[in-house]
């Protein structure tokens, strides 16, 4: 019973979609849960219910609800069509393979909150996309993937967009 919790950091960019595709093809297996971890760092402008989850993040959101724009608006997030299509394909795999898909929305600094999510969820592993920043940009802005690789307690796979 109970498979692994495979975390995938998603910001709806092309590199995070590459990470999601990679995780679904190469890592997820029967009985696992793929848990999208999306960090909103501009939630301060949101009103209402978002503030209920400011500290601990949203509850697990099943794919059926994460596909509903009215529901996701409540959490202050707008997943794109391509991400939903990838997730739907993962969840509907045939041949006795059963993979559940959930999303968890967390609010704050991406590096810090992804680090916290590993233990909060808890995750057995985490897949994150690499934006491929130049050395200068990485030095100035920092790299979320580099921080995660060096600080979390579970295995991390960094996926480049062209993989």
Nearest to 46 by CA among 23, 10, 77: 77
Q: Is residue 4 part of a domain?
A: no
Please tell me what DSSP assigns to residue 80: -
Q: Is residue 2 part of a domain?
A: no
Check pLDDT > 60 for residue 157. Answer: yes
- Indicate which CATH number applies to the domain containing 29: 3.40.50.620
| Host domain of residue 94 | 11-160
Q: Is residue 6 part of a domain?
A: no
Over residues 38-88, the pLDDT tens digits come to: 998 765 545 555 666 777 788 999 999 999 998 888 888 889 999 999 999
- Beta-bridge partner residues of 62: 102
Average pLDDT, the chain: 84
**pTM for this model (two decimals):** 0.86
Q: Is residue 114 part of a domain?
A: yes
Burial (CB count <10 Å: 0-12, 13-18, 19+), residue 138: middle
Neighbours of 139 (CB within 10 A): 10
**If DSSP codes are grouped into helix, strand and coil, which group holds residue 159?**
strand
Q: Is residue 1 part of a domain?
A: no
Residue 142: band (very low, low, confident or very high) from pLDDT cuts 50, 70, 90? low
Domains contained in the chain, number: 1
Q: Is residue 3 part of a domain?
A: no
Q: Is residue 5 part of a domain?
A: no
Q: Is residue 133 part of a domain?
A: yes
């Amino acid at each position: 019973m109970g498979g692994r919790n495979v975390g995938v950091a998603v910001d709806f960019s092309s590199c995070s979609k590459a990470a999601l595709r990679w995780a679904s093809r190469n890592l997820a297996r029967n009985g696992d849960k793929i848990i999208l971890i999306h960090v909103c760092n501009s939630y301060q402008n949101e009103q209402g219910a978002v503030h209920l989850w400011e500290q601990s993040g949203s509850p697990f959101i099943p794919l059926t609800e994460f596909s509903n724009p009215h529901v996701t608006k409540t959490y202050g997030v707008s997943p794109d069509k391509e991400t939903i299509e990838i997730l739907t394909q993962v969840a509907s795999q045939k041949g006795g393979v059963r993979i559940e898909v959930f999303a968890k929305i967390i609010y704050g600094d991406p590096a810090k909150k992804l680090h916290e999510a590993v233990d909060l969820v808890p995750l057995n592993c985490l897949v994150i996309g690499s934006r491929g920043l130049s050395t200068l940009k990485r030095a100035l802005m920092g790299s979320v993937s580099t921080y995660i690789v060096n600080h979390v307690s579970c295995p991390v796979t960094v996926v480049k967009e062209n993989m």
